[in-house]
Amino acid sequence: MERLTVELGERSYPLHVGRGLTGEIRKAVETEAAADRKGAVLVDAGFAAAQPDFLETIFGALPRLEIPSGEGSKSFAELERCCDFLGATGIPRDGFLFVVGGGVTGDLGGFAAATWLRGIRFYQVPTTLLAMVDSSVGGKTGLNIEAGKNLVGAFHQPRAVFADAAVLDSLPDREFAAGMAEVIKHGLLGDAELFRQLEEGPRLQSDSEDLPVVLRRNCALKAAVVRADEREQSAAGGRALLNLGHTFGHAIEAVAGYGAYLHGEAVAVGLLLATQLSERMNLLPSGSHQRVGKLLRRYDLPVRLRSPLPVEELLAASRRDKKVRAGMLRYVLLEAFGKAVVVGNIEEAIVRGLWEEAGASR
């Protein structure tokens, strides 16, 4: 196990990364209990069915609420159910919450923790690759609404994150591949050597010996970006750079309907589109997108729309992106593999053309 720290002054917290962290998570539960704090657990229903012994060993008799798997759970209806559970359980202001699951459960549970009694302590125990390398770190929480993905939310930092590669053994292949989209993203935006290793090294799997090393590199990159720009306010890019491919990806999810694509699958298409747009803006050499497409396909990720989506609806969804500033949509693009930049004032006709090349309909 390795321990990293997200440096945020009084709100700094550790990231525990490794394989076999049951004892470390149990120790955190016992520390809270020793302080006479009352707690509860929110857990993804799919993970609860797949690994009941993991939950029993760590959490014992702590009250537990299962969250239905899938993007549809990031909703006000599920938030209300979570808050009713916290109320029925009697979680006080000094109570605590463990959130066990993938990005959906983490975002929903984190938002519940941020809003219950105006904020209680919570811990992230990510159970998918995507959540381990991205969504569990940094304190972004949120829900989806009809207007777009993650448009309702709050910044609420966890007390600790436990990224245990051992829990990925029961993760479906499609979910693991979706997580690899975020790993590839991190290589593209800030770690060119990681991208090269993903291209040239053995294909990663849940039981790969060097997977914890990859987890650590991703978590370290994410922690550094969050430390420098916790609330995504930097004029030079900062935390917004972590959204490489996401303006496109979120539009796909919103227009196709949440759940039609896994988040990582939509981001994969977005990464290729962002690379192509970087070429069109003369930031990257022509043909750079071929390397990105080849690596995405290596992990069985889509590189174009599975079926046509209306291009005007995709463009409209993009205009509601969180990176809009003063009415101007900004895209995260690449100046080189390993170096990202935020760019505005891009002609919509160029983006429309890329969408149509990716399979969007007029």
Catalytic residue among 16, 64, 121, 140: 140
Judge whether 118 counts as a catalytic residue. Answer: yes
Give the amino acid at 148.
Answer: G
Helix (H, G, I), strand (E, B) or coil at 338: coil
Q: Is 244 left (phi over 0), alpha (psi -120 to 50) or beta?
A: beta
Given 159, 186, 222, 323, the catalytic residue: 222
**Active-site residue among 118, 200, 209, 362?**
118
Name the active-site residue from 16, 121, 186, 246: 246
Instruction: Please name the residue that has the structure tokens 């939310």.
Output: 153
182 is catalytic: yes
Active-site position among 250, 289, 323, 330: 250
Catalytic residue among 74, 217, 239, 330: 239
- Closest among 152, 84, 68, 138 to 116, alpha carbons compared: 84
Those residues whose C-beta lies under 8 Å from the C-beta of residue 329, and which sit 6 or more positions away, are 247, 318, 319, 321, 323, 344, 346
CA distance 106 to 194: 26
CB of 186 within 8 A of CB of 218?
A: yes
Specify which residues 340 forms β-bridges with: 334
What's the distance, CA 17 to chain centroid?
16
74, 149, 216, 263: the catalytic one is 263
Query: Contact, 335 vs 281, CB < 8 A?
Result: no
**Close Cβ partners of 334 (under 8 Å, ≥ 6 residues apart):** 188, 189, 244, 274, 275, 278, 283, 284, 288, 340, 341
Instruction: Report how far residue 86's alpha carbon sits from residue 116's, in angstroms, rounded to the nearest whole number.
Output: 8
The active-site residue out of 144, 150, 218, 243 is 243
Identify the H or E element spanning 96: strand 96-101
Tell me, yes or no, if 250 is annotated catalytic.
yes
What backbone torsions phi and psi does residue 332 show, to the nearest 5 degrees?
Answer: -85, 120
Distances (CA, A) of 300 to 103, 177, 192, 201: 20, 7, 21, 16
- Is 222 catalytic? The answer is yes
Question: Percentages helix, strand, coil for the chain, rounded to the nearest 5?
Answer: 50, 20, 30
Q: Please tell me whether residue 69 adopts helix, strand or coil conformation.
A: coil
Residue 93, phi-psi category: left (phi > 0), alpha (psi -120 to 50), beta (remainder): alpha
User: Among the options 66, 71, 175, 232, which is catalytic?
Assistant: 232
The answer to whether 140 is a known catalytic residue is yes
- Give the whole-angstrom CA distance, residue 49 versus residue 260: 23
Catalytic residue among 182, 230, 253, 265: 182
Q: Known catalytic residues? A: 118, 140, 182, 222, 232, 239, 243, 246, 250, 263
